[in-house]
Amino acid sequence: MRFLVTRVQPQADAWVRQLCAAGHEAQALPLIEVHALADVSAVQAAGQRWSSYHAVMFVSHHAVNCFFKENQALALYIQAQATIKTRVWTTGPGTTKALLAQGVPASLLDAPDAQSGQFDSEALWQRVQSQVQPGQRVLIVRGRSQPLAGLEETLTDAGVGRDWLAQRLTQAGAQVDFVVSYQRGAPDWGSEQRTVAQMAAVDGTVWLFSSAEAIGYLNELLPQQDWSQALAVATHPRIAQAARSLGFGQVQQARPVVADVLASIESFR
C-alpha cells in the first residue's frame, strides 16, 4: 500500500520511516504547520506559576516543546524540588515521550494506558478524575489555530477534547486556566504538493489523518477536489467523521499506532 502521512513534522517523517520499514511506500504531506508565538510572555508567566497548579495538561508534543523552550530551567526545578507535587497530564504516548525528554519525572505523569482503546481527553479523564478536588487549579497548555473560514464545525477539532476536559474539571469544582504555547496553521503548498494530493485522491493511496483540523485545511487547499474515491485511516472518531464529511469514499479508524493502522487497511485490499 501507499500512504500519505499528514502529521506535523517531524512526526510525519518518523511515521514514514516506520511504514517503509514495514514494507509499504509512504510519503509525508503535512497538513498543519507549527510556528512560534511572537509574544511568549504568557507562556513564561505560566511556567513561573507551575507549583500553584494541581496539574498541567499538555495537548501535544509541540505544546510541550514550545512551553519548555520558554521555561528552560523549569524541568531542573521540578526535579530538584521534592515538594513540587504538580501532576503532568497527557493524552498519548508521543506527548508523554516529549515530556520525559524534557526531564519531567515519570512519577509525575498521568496518561491513558498504552493499551487504551483511545488516546484522547475522555480516556485521560478516566485516569485522573479521582485526583480532582474542589478548589484545585489546572493549567491546559495548547496551540492556537488559524481560522478555518466557512467550514462546518465537523471539519475542525481545534480544542474539542480540551474544552470537554475543561468542562469536566469545572463541574468537579476545579479552576481551569489555558495558555497558548504555539500557533498552528495551513501549510503553504506549491504545485508539487497539490499534484501529489490530487493524485492521491484517486489512485488508491491511503491518507493518514491525526487531526480533523488538518482535514479542514485540506479542504481549503483543494476546495474543488472530489474525494469519493479516496481512502483514509483516522486516529479518532471525530477525525473519521470529518473525513467522511469532506467526502472520503472509505474511512477506517485506528489507534495512532503503526501496527493498528496497518491492521485497519485490510478492508481496502
Task: Note whether 252 and 133 are same-domain residues.
Answer: no
Task: Note whether 168 and 140 are same-domain residues.
Answer: yes
Task: Note whether 85 and 136 are same-domain residues.
Answer: yes
Last residue of a domain, one of 185, 211, 240: 185
Last residue of a domain, one of 185, 210, 227: 185
DSSP per-residue codes, the chain: -EEEE-SPTTHHHHHHHHHHHTT-EEEE--S-EEE--S--HHHHHHHHTGGG-SEEEE-SHHHHHHHHHS-TTHHHHHHH-TT---EEE-SSHHHHHHHHHTT--GGGEE---TT-S--SHHHHHHHHGGG--TT-EEEEEEEEEPP-TT--GGG--TTHHHHHHHHHHHHTT-EEEEEEEEEEE-----HHHHHHHHHHTTS-PEEEES-HHHHHHHHHHSTT---TT-EEEESSHHHHHHHHHHT-SEEEE--SSHHHHHHHGGGG-
Task: Note whether 117 and 133 are same-domain residues.
Answer: yes
Segments of the chain scoring below 70 in pLDDT = 82, 117, 146-161
For 56, the domain range is: 35-185
Q: CATH code at 155?
A: 3.40.50.10090
Task: Note whether 77 and 96 are same-domain residues.
Answer: yes
pLDDT of amino acid 165 = 92
CA-CA-CA-CA torsion sign (111, 115, 116, 119): positive
Task: Note whether 24 and 151 are same-domain residues.
Answer: no
Last residue of a domain, one of 128, 157, 185: 185
pLDDT of amino acid 108 = 93
How many domains would you assign to the chain? 2
